[in-house]
Amino acid sequence: VTLPQVVVIDDHRMWREGVRASLGGVADVVASHNCVEAYLAHPVAADLVLLDLQLDSPRNRTPTGATPMIGTTAVKTMTDHLPVLIQTSVPGDLILAACVAAGALGVVGKDAPVATLGDAIRSVHRGELYLDTALAGLLSVYARRQHAGLLGDQQASALKYRAQGLSLAQIAGMIGVEDPKTVHKYLKTATERLGMHSIDEAARRSGLASGLVNRVDLP
Amino acid sequence: VTDRGSTASGVERLAVRVYIYARLMNLAQIVLALPAVLHQSSHPVASLGAAFVCLITGGRISRVASRRGFLAADRYLAADVLASVLALGAGLFFVPSAQLFTWVNWPYAISLLTAVAVGVTVSRWATGVVALGLMAVYLLNAARDLPAGSAGTILTNGLAYLAFASIGHVLLGHMRNLAALADAGREAERQLALERARRHLHGPKSLLELLSRDDLDPEVRRAVRADAVLAAAELQGFLSGVAPATTELARELRELSNLFSDLPLVLNVDALDADLTPELTFAVREAVRTALQNVREHAEASQVVLYAESDQRGWEVTVNDDGRGFAAQPEGFGLATLVRSALAEFGATTEITSEPNVGTTVLLRGVL
């Protein structure tokens, strides 16, 4: 069995080293970089990229000495090269929905156990959306409160069951569809839709640095 | 009726006591009437013998019934009935009929009590048959050369057998029904208290079990000890009968999740926006605590999600883990029995689904 080949992009060296060490037996880290620009300077073939959302820590610089691209711009840029799995310290933030809209195929919290990261990597490797449970919970509430009617019933249900922690196969059983891929489609559409409708809200609500969400990165 | 502390057995013992007191009055009457009876009877020995037999059978019933606590349709009662028939024959037939209207007429009082004793021990129809029989014997023996105008009195006396036996039957029947209701109510109350105690003790039990493990992960031990401090305080509240007073379930769940920092717990309770009664809030929180304790003890989960939501119609809370799961609910699974009954008290439902190596979901749901 060949393990998924992963590129890690994170502005913290210890994190990159830690991920490489702890993914043994789950994935092969074929390259790691401090920013997207560094990867673009030396692109390698891989199955997916594990991408940090905020690459703008004060002393982090691109190879040319510039400030690294972040947020949806980083996501959109990387999506052109590799499937993107976002690893973030803010899993319950609307920004992440915008990132999915910008093309990311998965979101996983940095506080999740390594086993969960392994699940996320395998899902994205298969081409399936991996939606962090906390983000699903946030989106589920957001859809109910701010955007009633934006999601179809099946989409809303899929999001709710994901927020309860169920797997795609379990959700398929709950909402009565044959193929887990259908659930994947529901979740992806729901997240993208909410992501596109929540850009301003995300910017307003987020306590994160500005510039993470950029409307031009979204379809 | 075996439980001597029950209301039902109290009713039976009351019947026995009334029987014994009444028989003692019979005895007093016989002793007082005996000189007159012996003087007037055409067969003094037969009259004396009948009185003696009645005292023996009444005494035996009193002894047996007081020892076992109830009157029964047994050979002692049959002997009592036969003794009454004998007394009516020998005691009435051999004395002048004028005596029937005086206090010397002891067989009447004796046999009337026998009819009542039969009424409280046998079925309605058997009571009727025995009472009619005693009435017939009384009338046959009493209706000899009656003084003019006394037929009505004799007939009324005869009907008293039916009346007294029926009153005894109906009265004690009602008392037995009431006693059964009282006992059932008390038993239900006892079960409920037991259930509540079990519920309150289940959490501390899990904590104690965990704390007594030598190989407990230090991180789990820290979380369990923090939980133990709270559990002790809550147990104190339960023991002194102080009810918890909180209605904000979402906040309770957030606080509860802090006690399970050793679990890979994701908290999705922002969609819960309902105020429940303090009692229900407490019951739900304890149910979730029990579910999380089960996850901690058994599941070996890599993700646990506590989810809650509400709308205008109702609320639901789920605890989902991706741990070991189980095929069939094992016996003594505290969660199923305790949680279900605790929530059922408030009309809320509990569904537990589990699959080996996939995980377990506990779904708690209620209407608003």
pLDDT tens, residue by residue, B262-316: 898 999 998 898 888 888 898 898 889 888 988 888 878 888 999 999 988 999 9
3-state secondary structure of A150: coil
**Residues of chain B contacting residue A167, judged by C-beta atoms under 8 Å apart:** 322, 358
Tens-digit pLDDT profile for residues A38-78: 999 999 999 999 999 888 888 999 999 999 999 889 999 99
- Find the CB nearest A166 among B264, B309, B320: B320
Q: CA B59 from chain center: how many Å?
A: 32
The yes-or-no verdict on residue B121 having pLDDT over 90 is yes
Distance from CA of B342 to the nearest CA of A (A): 23
Q: Which of A61-65, B167-171, B355-359 has the highest mean pLDDT?
A: B167-171
Distance from CA of B301 to the nearest CA of A (A): 10
Residue B17, pLDDT score: 95
**Residues of chain A contacting residue B307, judged by C-beta atoms under 8 Å apart:** 137, 163-165
The yes-or-no verdict on residue B199 having pLDDT over 80 is no
The yes-or-no verdict on residue B61 having pLDDT over 60 is yes
Q: Are B118 and B131 in contact (CB under 8 A)?
A: yes
The yes-or-no verdict on residue B333 having pLDDT over 60 is no
Task: Give me the DSSP letters along B118-180.
Answer: HHHHS-HHHHHHHHHHHHHHHHHHH-SSPPTT-HHHHHHHHHHHHHHHHHHHHHHHHHHHHHH
The yes-or-no verdict on residue B329 having pLDDT over 70 is no
What's the pLDDT band for A112 if we cut at 50, 70, 90?
confident
A165 and B271 in contact by Cβ < 8 A? Answer: no
The yes-or-no verdict on residue A110 having pLDDT over 70 is yes
Mean pLDDT, range B176-183, rounded to an integer: 94
Q: Which residues pair with B321 in a beta bridge?
A: B304, B360
Q: Among A164, A166, A168, A170, which would you mutate to test the B interface (most chain B Cβ atoms within 10 Å of its Cβ)? A: A164
Tally C-beta pairs within 8 A across A and B: 56
Distance from CA of B213 to the nearest CA of A (A): 24
- Nearest chain B residue (CA) to A132: B266
A140 and B271 in contact by Cβ < 8 A? Answer: yes
CA distances to B200, B263, B292, B335, B356 from B300, in Å? 25, 9, 12, 17, 12
Four-CA torsion A116, A120, A126, A128, nearest 10 degrees: 120
What's the pLDDT band for B245 if we cut at 50, 70, 90?
low
Give the neighbor-by-neighbor strand order of the sheet with B349-355: B265-271, B304-310, B314-321, B359-367, B349-355
CA distances to B119, B173, B203, B265, B323 from B206, in Å? 56, 49, 5, 19, 18
Q: In this structure, how many other beta carbons lie within 10 angstroms of the beta carbon of residue B252?
A: 21
Pairing outcome for strands A106-109 and A84-88: parallel
Kindly state the tokens that stand for B149.
């105008």
Give me the count of residues in chain B.
368
A140 and B320 in contact by Cβ < 8 A? Answer: no
Over chain B, what is the mean pLDDT?
A: 86
- Enumerate residues 6+ apart whose C-beta is below 8 A from B28: none
Distance from CA of B319 to the nearest CA of A (A): 8
**Residues of chain A contacting residue B322, judged by C-beta atoms under 8 Å apart:** 165, 167
3-state secondary structure of A219: coil
d(CA B258, CA A72): 33
A165 and B320 in contact by Cβ < 8 A? Answer: yes
CA distances to A163, B26, B78, B187 from B172, in Å? 63, 22, 20, 22
- Find the CB nearest A144 among B266, B271, B320: B271
A164 and B266 in contact by Cβ < 8 A? Answer: no
d(CA A27, CA B360): 28
d(CA A62, CA A55): 10
Percent over 70 (pLDDT), chain B: 93
**Residues of chain B contacting residue A144, judged by C-beta atoms under 8 Å apart:** 271
d(CA B99, CA B103): 8
**Residues of chain B contacting residue A163, judged by C-beta atoms under 8 Å apart:** 268, 271, 305, 307
Tens-digit pLDDT profile for residues A122-164: 999 998 889 988 889 988 888 888 877 888 999 999 999 999 9
**Residues of chain A contacting residue B302, judged by C-beta atoms under 8 Å apart:** 113, 115-116
The yes-or-no verdict on residue B75 having pLDDT over 60 is yes
Q: In this structure, how many other beta carbons lie within 10 angstroms of the beta carbon of residue B27?
A: 17
d(CA B282, CA B292): 15
Kindly state the tokens that stand for A127.
């081409």
- Nearest chain A residue (CA) to B317: A164
Closest CA to B320 of B265, B281, B271: B265
Give the H/E segment covering residue A40. helix A36-41
Kindly state the tokens that stand for B264.
């890979």
Residue B66, pLDDT score: 92
Buried-state track B329-338, b at ≥16 Cβ within 10 A, e below 16: eeeeebbbbb
What's the pLDDT band for B97 if we cut at 50, 70, 90?
low
d(CA B241, CA A33): 61
Give the H/E segment covering residue A158. helix A153-163
Residue B91, pLDDT score: 66
**Residues of chain B contacting residue A157, judged by C-beta atoms under 8 Å apart:** none
Q: Which of B300-304, B341-345, B362-366 has the highest mean pLDDT?
A: B362-366
The yes-or-no verdict on residue A210 having pLDDT over 80 is no
Distance from CA of B317 to the nearest CA of A (A): 9
A165 at the B interface (CB within 8 A)? yes
Measured between its terminal Cα atoms, the distance across chain A in Å is 36
Closest CA to B303 of B273, B339, B268: B268
**Residues of chain B contacting residue A137, judged by C-beta atoms under 8 Å apart:** 266, 268, 270-271, 307
**Residues of chain B contacting residue A141, judged by C-beta atoms under 8 Å apart:** 270-271, 309
Tens-digit pLDDT profile for residues B124-162: 999 999 999 999 998 888 777 677 777 888 899 999 999
Mean pLDDT, range B338-353, rounded to an integer: 85
Type of residue numbered B184 = A
Backbone torsions φ then ψ of B237, nearest 5 degrees: -60, -45
Residue B224: half-sphere exposure toward Cβ, Cα within 13 Å: 21
Percent over 90 (pLDDT), chain B: 40
A137 at the B interface (CB within 8 A)? yes
pTM across the whole model: 0.64
